Amino acid sequence: MFNPELFVSESVESLRNEIKGRAVIACSGGVDSTVAAKLVEMAIHDKLMVVFVDTGFMRKNEAQNIEKMFQRMGFNYRIVRAADEFIAMLSGVTDPEQKRKLIGKKFIDVFERIAREFGAEYLVQGTIAPDWIESGGGLRDTIKSHHNVGGLPEQMKLKLVEPLRDLYKDEVRKIARYLGIETAERQPFPGPGLAIRILGEIDKERLEIVRAANAIVEEEVERFYVPEERPWQYFAVLLPIKSVGVHGDKRAYGYTVAVRMVESLDGMTAAYFKARHELLERIANRITTEVNSINRVVYDITNKPPGTIEWE
């Protein structure tokens, strides 16, 4: 039986011995990076700089909420607001892998600058066992290569510290609960964020549309189901097509949003979530009334394989 209390005390002790200088961590607010940051902070306090890069592709109020959480946790932190830069960079880009590559590269540039300014010698990462264990097909490597700040240690000559390297997600969640970390139960959210939930080209208008629709999906699912009943992931995707609808007594063309909810253990395979129709109807009603220019909501009933969880 995994004992979070014992893990925390042993880990903090060994991190204190291991880390001899300043350290940085890029923290998304997700459970892995937040637990890793907390353990290192408990060991070396303000010698750890916790960095959150706001790419502009985060969910509604996410950057503000993360900053408040960092404050409550007593972190020495930096929030880098780089939304305009990231959005401008993606103008005209439609290929999903190109989006990921550009976002990943800029993220590293921004993070590297801060690490250098802080004089960091150590790089902390929230890597967990499934992130590096061979999965057989190599698919996981492909998935994860997009968002981990891979390559960073070689370029920056930082010593890598991975306090969660041997743990699985449920163990990390146990530590998170034990440490009272607020995002312990948060659903996974991809590093490139909403940028890969807008099919095709990104602009500010579409970003606002998908952000608003996604917030409604999250709110309604979280209202409808208690945490244990919720799907593994639940979100909205903005499709690059318009379809006909009625607005007053006129035909009007509007955007279509796909709602995706899946059950999964680790994201490698997934089953579409058999959501209750009352919930789906509420989501559709709210999105079409509250989000301008959306007149159609569809529910994705594809398993993985053959589909993927994300649409890009």
Chain residues in the site for ligand XMP (CB under 6 A)? 100, 143, 146-147, 188, 190-192, 233, 267, 304, 308-310
Counted residue by residue, the chain has a size of 312
Q: How far is CA 145 from the centre of its chain?
A: 14
Shortest separation between residue 141's beta carbon and ligand XMP, angstroms = 12
The token duo for 227 is: 């945490």
How many other C-beta atoms can be found within 10 angstroms of the C-beta atom of residue 162?
15
CA dihedral angle for residue 302, residue 305, residue 306, residue 311, rounded to 10 degrees: 60
The token duo for 45 is: 């306090």
Shortest separation between residue 146's beta carbon and ligand XMP, angstroms = 3
In the complex with ligand XMP, the residue whose CB is nearer, 38 or 100, is 100
In the complex with ligand XMP, the residue whose CB is nearer, 163 or 191, is 191
Shortest separation between residue 97's beta carbon and ligand XMP, angstroms = 9
In angstroms, rounded to a whole number, what is the distance separating the alpha carbons of residues 234 and 259?
A: 7
Say which amino acid occupies 19: I
In the complex with ligand XMP, the residue whose CB is nearer, 79 or 149, is 149
Shortest separation between residue 2's beta carbon and ligand XMP, angstroms = 23
In the complex with ligand XMP, the residue whose CB is nearer, 43 or 51, is 51
Shortest separation between residue 231's beta carbon and ligand XMP, angstroms = 11
In the complex with ligand XMP, the residue whose CB is nearer, 188 or 245, is 188
